[in-house]
């Protein structure tokens, strides 16, 4: 039974230049206790997709009528996109779904102590008293490995180091016991040694709390280390998705292959790096047909530039949207 079900999500932004498509026909599911990785380059729509789970996109966003985001809670199902005003959205925002952002310095209020911010959200989302909230907050700070939690509770975000801030962010996001945690590039701003610590911590917490995580990153290495399943996004569409081992070891979509070839690998120092030709098209000039055809090395003439490829299964739970791939996963 999936906890979160996103189906045919289409999202456009109304701008002066017209409607810009940010997300097109995105569908995925996450089960409890599962980590779904969402990879893609800048502008691929991964953050916008995540934000729509809590309706955090700006007011000029337009969801198409067939888009649906369903959340299965113990108290019944919630249709996220049908929630209209902020009061209804409290169930989702910070309640069933919490989010960790890339830059923890920008996410904490600079002039309010870490503790006060943690207590505030607990007061809104739970029936705890102020005292209980404070006790739980300190406990959570200890749980994520912050030493002297009692002292840190009274400090401001600028007094903490980068790694510690991200830990505090995680403690805050988890203290309301969300069902789904969205982690948007949570380790990108951190040094590798600190990144390794934070990734370990997140893996432990999934085990302990049994929640679902949507893990957004541009780093395939990070995905390989934390995710159970992975979805690869390009220009607002999911081009390939499946179990992480299968997708990384036998990628089917030319874009996934291209990403892997462009990555410098430590065990193959002599192999040349192969960039994906061309640049990502501007969202204003979204290519017709398959979105990747302008840069694809396996492009089929008179096919890829006119019709949109459908999702085909190439293995258990492993699907690809590409004309050049048939159902066996081999290039056709």
Partner 1 sequence: MTEKPLISINKLNVEFPLGRTLFGKPPMLSAVNDVSLDIMPGQFYGLVGESGSGKTTLGKAILRAVHISSGEITFDDSDVNYDVGSLAKKELKNYRKLAQLIFQDPYAALSPRMTVRDIIAEPLEVMGLTKTREETDERVRDIAEKCRLNLEHLRRFPHAFSGGQRQRISIARTLVCNPKFVVADESVAALDVSIQADILNLLQSLQDQLGLTFLFISHDLSVVAHICDHVAVMYLGTLVESAPTRKLFDNPSHPYTKALLSAIPSLDPDDRGKAQKLEGEIPSPANPPPGCKFHTRCPMAEDRCRKEVPQWRELSKDHYAACHLV
Contacts with partner 1, residue ranges (CB under 8 A): 41-42, 161-164, 191-197, 199-200, 218-222, 224-225, 244-245, 248, 258-266, 269, 272-276, 279-280
Give rounded-to-5 percent helix, strand, coil for the chain: 30, 25, 40
**Nearest-approach distance from CB 159 to partner 1, in angstroms:** 12
Q: Which is nearer to partner 1, 53 or 227 (CB)?
A: 227
**Nearest-approach distance from CB 116 to partner 1, in angstroms:** 24
**Nearest-approach distance from CB 201 to partner 1, in angstroms:** 11
Evaluated on CA atoms 321, 327, 329, 332, the torsion sign reads negative
CA distance 98 to 96: 7
Token pair, residue 199, equals: 């990734």
Q: Which is nearer to partner 1, 59 or 193 (CB)?
A: 193
CA distance 231 to 35: 11
CA distance 237 to 24: 5
Token pair, residue 239, equals: 């081009």
**Nearest-approach distance from CB 241 to partner 1, in angstroms:** 15
Q: Which is nearer to partner 1, 250 or 312 (CB)?
A: 250
**Nearest-approach distance from CB 162 to partner 1, in angstroms:** 8
Q: Which is nearer to partner 1, 119 or 220 (CB)?
A: 220
Q: What are phi and psi of 155, to 5 degrees?
A: -95, 170
Q: Which is nearer to partner 1, 6 or 160 (CB)?
A: 160
**Nearest-approach distance from CB 168 to partner 1, in angstroms:** 13
CA distance 2 to 317: 14
**Nearest-approach distance from CB 299 to partner 1, in angstroms:** 16
**Nearest-approach distance from CB 193 to partner 1, in angstroms:** 4
CA distance 171 to 176: 9
What is the Cα 13 distance to its own chain's centre?
20
Q: Which is nearer to partner 1, 103 or 120 (CB)?
A: 103
Q: Which is nearer to partner 1, 283 or 329 (CB)?
A: 283
Q: Which is nearer to partner 1, 41 or 326 (CB)?
A: 41
Backbone φ/ψ region at 257: left (φ over 0), alpha (ψ -120 to 50), beta = alpha
DSSP string, 227-275: -SEEEEEETTEEEEEEEHHHHHHS--SHHHHHHHHHS--TT-TTSPP-P
């Amino acid at each position: 039974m999936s906890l979160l079900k996103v189906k045919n999500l289409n999202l456009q932004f109304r701008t002066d230049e017209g409607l810009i498509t940010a997300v097109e026909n995105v569908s995925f599911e996450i089960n409890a206790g599962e980590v779904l990785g969402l990879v893609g380059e800048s502008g691929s729509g991964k953050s916008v997709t995540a934000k729509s789970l809590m309706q955090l996109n700006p007011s000029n966003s337009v969801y198409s009528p067939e888009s649906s985001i369903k959340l299965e809670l113990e108290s019944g199902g919630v249709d996220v996109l049908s929630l209209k005003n902020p009061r209804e959205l409290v169930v989702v925002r910070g309640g069933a779904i919490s989010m960790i952002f890339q830059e923890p310095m920008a996410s904490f209020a600079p002039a309010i102590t870490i503790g006060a911010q943690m207590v505030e959200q607990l007061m809104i989302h739970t029936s705890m008293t102020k005292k209980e909230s404070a006790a739980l907050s300190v406990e959570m700070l200890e749980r994520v490995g912050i030493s002297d939690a009692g002292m840190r509770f009274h400090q401001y975000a600028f007094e903490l180091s980068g790694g510690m801030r991200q830990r505090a962010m995680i403690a805050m996001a988890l203290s309301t016991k969300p069902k789904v945690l969205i982690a948007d590039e949570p380790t990108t701003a951190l040094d590798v040694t600190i990144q390794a610590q934070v990734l370990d911590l997140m893996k432990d917490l999934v085990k302990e709390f049994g929640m679902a995580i949507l893990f957004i990153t541009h780093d395939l290495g990070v995905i390989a280390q934390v995710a159970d399943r992975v979805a690869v996004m390009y220009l607002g569409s999911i081009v390939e998705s499946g179990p992480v081992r299968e997708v990384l070891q036998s990628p089917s979509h030319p874009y996934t292959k291209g990403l892997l070839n462009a990555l410098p690998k430590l065990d193959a120092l002599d192999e040349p790096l192969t960039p994906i030709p061309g640049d990502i098209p501007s969202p204003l000039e979204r290519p017709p047909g398959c979105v990747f055809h302008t840069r694809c090395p396996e492009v089929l003439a008179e096919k890829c530039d006119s019709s949109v490829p459908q999702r085909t299964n190439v293995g258990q739970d492993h699907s690809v949207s590409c004309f050049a791939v048939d159902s066996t996963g081999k290039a056709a």
